[in-house]
Amino acid sequence: MTAIKKKARGELVVLLLALALMTLLWASAAYAGADTTFNTALTKFTDFLEGSGGKIITVLSLAGGIVGLASGRFSLGQVAIPVGVGVGAGTGIPIVTSTVTATI
Give residue 76's domain range: 39-104
Find the largest Cα–Cα distance for the chain. Answer: 72
Is residue 58 one of the residues assigned to a domain?
yes
SS3 content of the chain, % helix, strand, coil (to 5): 80, 0, 20
Q: Confirm whether 92 is domain-assigned.
A: yes
Q: Is residue 50 part of a domain?
A: yes
- Rounded Cα distance between 42 and 47, Å, is 8
Q: Is residue 56 one of the residues assigned to a domain?
A: yes
Backbone torsions φ then ψ of 6, nearest 5 degrees = -65, -40
Look at the pTM and tell me if it is higher than 0.75. Answer: no
Does residue 46 form part of some domain?
yes
Write the pLDDT tens digit of every residue in 27-85.
Answer: 776 666 666 777 888 888 888 877 888 788 878 888 887 887 777 777 777 778 787 88
Residue 28 placed within a domain? no
Query: Is 88 part of any domain?
Result: yes
* Number of domains present in the structure of the chain: 1
pLDDT for res 103? 57
